[in-house]
Structure 1
Amino acid sequence: MAVNFVGITMGDPAGIGPEISLKAIDAKTEYQQYVLIYGSYDVLQYYHQRLQLTTQLVRIEKVQDFQPGKINVISVVDLAIGKDIEIGQVSPVAGDAAYQYIARAISDALKGDIRVVTTAPLNKEALHKGGHNFDGHTEIFATLTKTKSYTMMLWSEHMSVVHVSTHCSLREACDRATKARVLECVHLADKAMKQLGVETPRIAVAGLNPHSGEAGLFGREEIDEIIPAVQAAQQEGLDVDGPVPPDTVFLKAYNGVYDIVVAMYHDQGHIPMKMVAFDSGVNVTLGLPIIRTSVDHGTAFDIAGKGIAKADSMCYAVDLGKRFAEH
């Protein structure tokens, strides 16, 4: 049964991750049968008491010790609020702890102890101060699983997007929009949609430049790189359209013309997704040997510790991970 477990990494312990992790499991009784938390037990106990949750919190050493009907915690790093960290404050201790939760969960997933890793948000500044120089979750997962071909997907019931590039400058993003990388992302998008039950995914490839370059008047990236990638995918038999002008492609996807969009850079894909699915979007890392889903929001230090953080995105992330696992 262990392969059916979902492990939540509770994110930066100074942010809202501990709160939303607890709230999700407490609110949905079915989660109490297969979801556990990788984090710091004392931090979670603090929030458990503050939130007055009724589901019992238990500390376990390994996945095989899971106790159904309870909130199970593998305490990867022992630290306490007020002693080791302060709520809502960036610190190297919190950044390192957030990394250690992820590393343990990935290790367990690679061993087959859990099937899905669902991540609460981390803080990049704290992560770096803690000695881990990664751009974010995606790069941590790729490194620790030794994955070379991967991309970020944002999923929602309204539309889905994969990204040719994410955490880099806009100037660098233009250079990363190569034929090979665009085609790679088309393949990853096609596979992901099929895993979610779409038999023949309809894929749109967004242009990079205004009006997709207007036949070279506004840039040659479409002519030199993107169109050749689209043509190569079409020759393979994939249902791919593009480059579709970026100012209309997301509206078409929202209206059901496409199942997924290949965006050229971070903000091109993130802005429309957060407009239509800010509380229900899920971040997925495609191409990994394990399943990784995540909330699509940050640590929210400004509301951390106030008890008002919503667990909706966490629930969507757990549920989508389970869908991937079932396929």
Structure 2
Amino acid sequence: MSALPRISVTSGEPAGIGPELLAALADAALPAQLVLLGDRALLRERAACSGSQAEWPDYQRDTTAAVSLLHVPLAQPAVAGQLNTANAQYVLDMLDIATDGCMTGEFAAVVTAPLHKGVINDGVASQSGKFFYGHTEYLAERTHTQRVVMMLTGANLRVALATTHLPLKDVAAAITEDSLTETLEILHSDLKHKFGLANPRILVAGLNPHAGESGHLGREEIDVIIPTLDKLRAQGMTLIGPLPADTLFNPAQLERGDAVLAMYHDQGLPVLKFASFGAGINVTLGLPIIRTSVDHGTALDLAGTGRADAGSLIAATELAINLANAAHG
């Protein structure tokens, strides 16, 4: 294999902007071998929307091409902006191929363009009986990983989540001493070993307003979060908190840490996405493979217009390259 890392990139929901983002990514001249996954006719059509007439050679295991295409056929022709449940399995097929290739060492990392959870649940999960929660949870199951951590980066911020795609009413029950311990251990380990931080400093948000205000606004901090942090501090982790989430994201606080652990999805990610939307990166920690992704959705209204911004996908690929090089350095 070439000294350059071989990075697989899935094109995601075929009715969304993913296919045309891959065309822009292919033109970015990154220091890697990029393997684009998707239907050849679809990627050609969407590349043309942006004025590109690019053609990529078929992917072969011994390829030295800077960009190649691993053709995965659509079930039905895709129309920009129009979801079609018939193509739900196509999206999962690409993800399976890329993930399995990472597990065998064929690929050094997988970068994922956005998919549409509703289409997959209507088109595949409704038949299998298994609800599709998202990339993060699917990759954990595919790689037989018991727990993973979702972290987004951008604008010099790193924000990880103690819980991911859960209804708000279920969040408090999901935050237990065991789950929080595992999450912090994964976050600490990957910040140290994948991101090169010798002694990661983690800012931990409280669950309740004002971090519970001494129990007057909820006891989760007293009963679960503080005892867990104290236990892990005794093991050598640098953990700051629990901190009130409404004042955590200010420059003075953020300078004290290398990453933030938010208790739930919409506690931490709105701040990061406000600061870095269009250039943010989603990283799945705890996996036996490297996986990064964009920080946005399928943008059906932009699909096929040629106006989609590939900044987040390019940033996600650059980080995947850096992590792959570090892993093999």
TM-score range, shorter chain: over 0.9
Instruction: Note the alpha carbon deviations across 1:71-120, whole angstroms, 9 max, x for none.
Output: 311012245xxx62221112112322111110111111111000100000
CA distance in structure 2 between the aligned counterparts of 1:253 and 1:285, rounded to whole angstroms:
27
Q: Which runs of 5+ in 2 are unaligned?
A: 126-130
Matched with 1:30 is: 30
Matched with 2:187 is: 189
TM-score by length of 1: 0.93
Partner secondary structure for residue 102 of structure 1: helix
Q: 1:253 to 1:185 in 2, by over 3 A?
A: farther
Does the Cα contact within 8 Å between 1:158 and 1:276 map onto a contact in 2?
A: no
Q: How many residues align?
A: 319
CA distance in structure 2 between the aligned counterparts of 1:154 and 1:311, rounded to whole angstroms:
17
| One-letter amino acid of the counterpart of residue 261, structure 1 | V
Matched with 1:50 is: 49
Q: 1:255 to 1:264 in 2, by over 3 A?
A: closer
| One-letter amino acid of the counterpart of residue 110, structure 1 | M
| One-letter amino acid of the counterpart of residue 219, structure 1 | G
Partner secondary structure for residue 58 of structure 1: coil
CA distance in structure 1 between the aligned counterparts of 2:121 and 2:149, rounded to whole angstroms:
22
Deviation at 1:157, TM superposition (A): 3.9
Residue of 140, 143, 152 corresponding to 1:142: 140
Deviation at 1:67, TM superposition (A): 4.4
Partner secondary structure for residue 118 of structure 1: strand
Does the Cα contact within 8 Å between 2:9 and 2:111 map onto a contact in 1?
A: yes
Deviation at 1:185, TM superposition (A): 1.5
| One-letter amino acid of the counterpart of residue 159, structure 1 | L
Matched with 1:101 is: 94
Percentage of matched positions with identical amino acids: 36
CA distance in structure 2 between the aligned counterparts of 1:210 and 1:263, rounded to whole angstroms:
13
| One-letter amino acid of the counterpart of residue 118, structure 1 | V
Does the Cα contact within 8 Å between 1:166 and 1:265 map onto a contact in 2?
A: yes
TM-score by length of 2: 0.92
Partner secondary structure for residue 29 of structure 1: coil
CA distance in structure 1 between the aligned counterparts of 2:112 and 2:141, rounded to whole angstroms:
16
CA distance in structure 2 between the aligned counterparts of 1:73 and 1:229, rounded to whole angstroms:
47
Matched with 1:294 is: 293
Instruction: Note the alpha carbon deviations across 1:49-68, whole angstroms, 9 max, x for none.
Output: 333325432223x4x14342
| One-letter amino acid of the counterpart of residue 281, structure 2 | V
Runs of 4+ in 1 over 3 A off after TM superposition: 252-255
Deviation at 1:235, TM superposition (A): 0.6
Does the Cα contact within 8 Å between 1:153 and 1:283 map onto a contact in 2?
A: yes
Partner secondary structure for residue 181 of structure 1: helix
Q: Please tell me whether residue 90 in structure 1 is matched to residue 83 in structure 2.
A: yes
Residue of 97, 109, 118 corresponding to 1:125: 118
Q: Please tell me whether residue 179 in structure 1 is matched to residue 177 in structure 2.
A: yes
Q: Please tell me whether residue 111 in structure 1 is matched to residue 104 in structure 2.
A: yes
Does the Cα contact within 8 Å between 1:159 and 1:254 map onto a contact in 2?
A: no
CA distance in structure 2 between the aligned counterparts of 1:229 and 1:280, rounded to whole angstroms:
33
Matched with 1:68 is: 65
Deviation at 1:326, TM superposition (A): 2.4
| One-letter amino acid of the counterpart of residue 30, structure 1 | L
CA distance in structure 2 between the aligned counterparts of 1:238 and 1:246, rounded to whole angstroms:
21
Does the Cα contact within 8 Å between 1:90 and 1:125 map onto a contact in 2?
A: no
Instruction: Report matched runs for 1:193-204 at 5 Å.
Output: 193-194=191-192, 195-204=194-203
CA distance in structure 2 between the aligned counterparts of 1:46 and 1:54, rounded to whole angstroms:
9
Instruction: Note the alpha carbon deviations across 1:247-282, whole angstroms, 9 max, x for none.
Output: 111225774221111110010011111111111111
